[in-house]
Amino acid sequence: MDLWSLEPVALPAELEALRTNVRAFLAGELAAGRIASRCDQWLGGWDPGFSRRLGERGWIGMAFPERYGGSAAGALARFVLTEELLAAGAPVAAHWIADRQTGPGLLRFGTEEQKQAFLPRIARGECFFAAAMSEPDTGSDLASVRARGTRADGGWRLSGTKVWTSGAHRAHAMIVLARTEPRTADRHAGLTQFIVELPDPAVRIRPILLLTGEHHFNEVVLDDVFVPDARVLGEPGSGWHQVTGELAMERSGPERILSTFPLLAAAMDDLAERGDQAGAARVGTLVARLWALRQASLAVAGRLDAGAAPAVEAAAIKDLGTRFESVVTDTVRLLSRVVPDPGSDRRLPRLLAESILHGPGFTLRGGTNEILRGVVAKELGVR
């Protein structure tokens, strides 16, 4: 069995021009004070204005075809863009889920009407999505979701509770995973994905606050929500297959290795200023690890560009990548001579505080390490 089928990818030369353009744009945004560089902005940096400015440049939906408002530039171009946005700590959370997983999901499974209705707006940075998969007591065990969809005249009625739904309070729609057939021995059968447009009077969205008091995720109660047939995504009953494809998109990207990159960069500047050679050597080993992870993540983008679904590779990279993100925080904490302070106007104490406070989520979101290792073990035939 060919478990690890990643080929090294060399980025085409023309993508260097894209990288230069993105860097120049971001430098302008930072210099003008329109955005600030922070850690973990792909979860926390909700800035619709910035998303629209990216959309105007064709930098959302780079993997969508042109007829749906995308630039058809492909996964490698999107990788370069994503890398630059994350390295700069730019506020990309508003469009992140729509660009990364909803758009590709609509392209694969959506009806023509759904594609026309959502993809151009996503690409313009005007339509944001949330992913409503997790539930209380079923988080890692998605096959046991209890939200139910029952047949109604012209559509379906959804009831149940979702949890950790990032951005649902500000999104224009969310993709809800619900059980639409009674549970059988095949736990993966009978699940369906629905597009629920927001706000909806039958959807109650309650905040779950982060350690910092920030509001990014939510508990979402679906109280007999009507969803017309036209808003069923894909085939009723095929939700498991669709959602696992979505998770492969969700797990493999550079956001799984770069949430704390702004901190790493700030620490390198600090060590250089203080002439700390031993500290610089420690950070050097982190940079070497980062480079290896980056090559693996890039190779997954290459496989996606070739039309493959590298779920096992994505799981392994997420496990390694998110643990690396936490090591960056721990190492900088040990090496730096600053007290973490989220309110500081100095870069290093503020970025360190953000990384520490957001850190507990790194290895959980998108699938916990134990679950990811289970995915790999299953493929190896040892589970």
Ligand X SMILES: Cc1cc2nc3c(=O)[nH]c(=O)nc-3n(C[C@H](O)[C@H](O)[C@H](O)COP(=O)(O)OP(=O)(O)OC[C@H]3O[C@@H](n4cnc5c(N)ncnc54)[C@H](O)[C@@H]3O)c2cc1C
Residues that bind ligand X (CB under 6 A): 43, 130-134, 139-141, 164-166, 217, 361, 364-368, 370-371, 374
- Measured at CB, which residue is nearest to ligand X? 139
CB of 273 to ligand X, least distance (A): 33
Q: Which is nearer to ligand X, 25 or 362 (CB)?
A: 362
State which residue, 156 or 164, has the beta carbon closest to ligand X. Answer: 164
Q: Which residue, 129 or 261, has its beta carbon nearer to ligand X?
A: 129
What's the closest the beta carbon of residue 70 comes to ligand X, in angstroms? 23
Tokens (6 digits) for 156: 């379906």
CB of 216 to ligand X, least distance (A): 7
Minimum distance from CB of 24 to ligand X (Å)?
A: 31
Question: Which two three-digit tokens encode residue 157?
Answer: 């009625």
* CB-facing half-sphere around the CA of 351: CA atoms within 13 A: 27
CA distance 212 to 205: 20
How far is it, in rounded angstroms, from Cα 43 to Cα 36?
15
Name the one residue in this structure whose structure tokens are 């860097």. Answer: 23
In the complex with ligand X, the residue whose CB is nearer, 200 or 305, is 200
Shorter beta-carbon distance to ligand X: residue 148 or 282: 148
Alpha helices in the chain (DSSP H): 14-31, 41-44, 48-56, 75-87, 93-97, 103-109, 112-123, 239-252, 255-258, 261-274, 277-305, 311-335, 347-362, 369-380
Burial grade of 172 (CB within 10 A; 0-12, 13-18, 19 or more): middle
Longest dimension (CA), the chain: 71
Q: How far is the CB of 82 from ligand X (least distance, A)?
A: 18
Tell me the closest approach of the beta carbon of residue 255 to ligand X, in angstroms: 12
Dihedral sign of CA atoms 307, 297, 318, 100 in order: negative
Q: Are 131 and 100 in contact (CB under 8 A)?
A: no
Cis check: omega of the bond before 199, within 30 degrees of 0: yes
CB of 358 vs ligand X, minimal distance in Å = 8
Smaller CB separation from ligand X, 90 or 371? 371
Q: Dihedrals φ, ψ of 219, to 5°?
A: -100, 135
Q: Which is nearer to ligand X, 134 or 336 (CB)?
A: 134
